[in-house]
């Protein structure tokens, strides 16, 4: 059976929040106002700092983004999103994480990004880093236009584990021999669904959980540890 590596995006592959970068960029394109973006970012930062981020919180944030995008052409958002990524996001990719993506691909393994970010932006990030594909939150689209609704729940927390199991069944992937990377305790279900879980830039709860279970821990925020961590990672891949 084939194997894969599943990467969370925010704070795992990219420093910070993809949605935050995109929202700021969309201000200049007339999609959002500064006040609307400030409100969204305040909620996101509050949930993250207080460690109370959960599916209900994410549903509120993502639902508000969907409402703001209602009536916009998907093709226009994708085009502008590409410009924003190249201007604002590409310089905030963790080089070490991108190297891991390339290492997995070089080993003949599939690489899938798994994120609560909208599917169209997730696809864009996957294309830019050379990943096999992406699993993201799906928006309802009619005649090429966002309706303002979601198709199913946000891809967050336990929903990520469900998504990779469904993908594995569809593509014949061996999850027991596969990898998963994330920074957040919210992704413990996804990390637990594979045989080789790796905590990347972990929050406090995930660091403890990973340490208790003997999972590999990589932290790209502290340069002195990066070389040693990557050497260990490459031996284990």
- The string of pLDDT tens digits covering residues 46-91 is 544 444 444 455 566 676 777 778 888 999 888 888 888 898 889 9
The residue that leads in pLDDT, 125 or 44, is: 125
pLDDT of residue 97: 96
Exposed/middle/buried for residue 227 (C-beta within 10 Å: 0-12, 13-18, 19+):
exposed
In three-state secondary structure terms, 203 is coil
pLDDT of residue 16: 84
Determine how many CB atoms are found less than 10 A away from the CB of residue 113.
26
Continuous H helices in 70-157: 74-84, 95-106, 119-129
pLDDT at 232 over 50: no
The CATH number covering residue 181 comes to 3.40.50.1000
Residue 111: phi and psi, rounded to 5, are -125, 125
Domain of residue 98: give its range: 4-236
Model-level pTM?
0.84
The residues carrying an active-site annotation are 8, 10
By the 8 A CB rule, do 24 and 95 touch?
no
Percent of the residues in the chain that have a pLDDT greater than 70, as a whole number: 78
In three-state secondary structure terms, 18 is helix
The total number of structural domains in the chain stands at 1
Angle (CA) 227-229-235 rounded to 5° is 100
Percent of the residues in the chain that have a pLDDT greater than 90, as a whole number: 55
Give residue for tokens 């994708």.
78
pLDDT at 130 over 70: yes
CA dist., res. 1 & res. 6, Å (int): 16
pLDDT of residue 24: 73
pLDDT of residue 78: 86
pLDDT, average across residues 183-205: 96
């Amino acid at each position: 059976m084939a194997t894969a590596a599943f990467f969370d995006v925010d704070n795992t592959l990219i420093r910070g929040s993809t949605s935050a970068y995109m929202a700021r960029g969309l201000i200049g394109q007339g999609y959002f106002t500064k006040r609307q973006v400030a409100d969204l970012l305040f909620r996101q930062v509050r949930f993250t700092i207080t460690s109370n981020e959960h599916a209900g919180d994410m549903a509120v944030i993502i639902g508000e983004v969907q409402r703001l995008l209602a009536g916009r052409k998907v093709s226009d958002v994708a085009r502008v999103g590409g410009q924003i990524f190249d201007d604002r996001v590409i310089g905030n990719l963790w080089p070490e994480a991108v190297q891991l993506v390339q290492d997995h691909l070089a080993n003949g393994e599939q690489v899938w990004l798994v994120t609560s970010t909208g599917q169209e932006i997730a696809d864009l990030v996957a294309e830019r880093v050379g990943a096999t594909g992406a699993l993201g939150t799906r928006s309802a689209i009619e005649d090429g236009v966002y309706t303002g609704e979601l198709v199913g729940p946000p891809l967050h927390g336990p929903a990520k584990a469900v998504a990779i199991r469904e993908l594995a069944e569809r593509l014949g992937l061996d999850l027991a021999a596969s990898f998963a990377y994330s920074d957040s305790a919210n992704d413990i279900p996804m990390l637990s669904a594979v045989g080789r879980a790796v905590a990347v830039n972990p929050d406090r709860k995930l660091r403890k959980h990973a340490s208790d279970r003997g999972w590999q821990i990589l932290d790209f925020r502290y340069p002195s540890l990066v070389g040693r961590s990557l050497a260990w990672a490459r031996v284990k891949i």
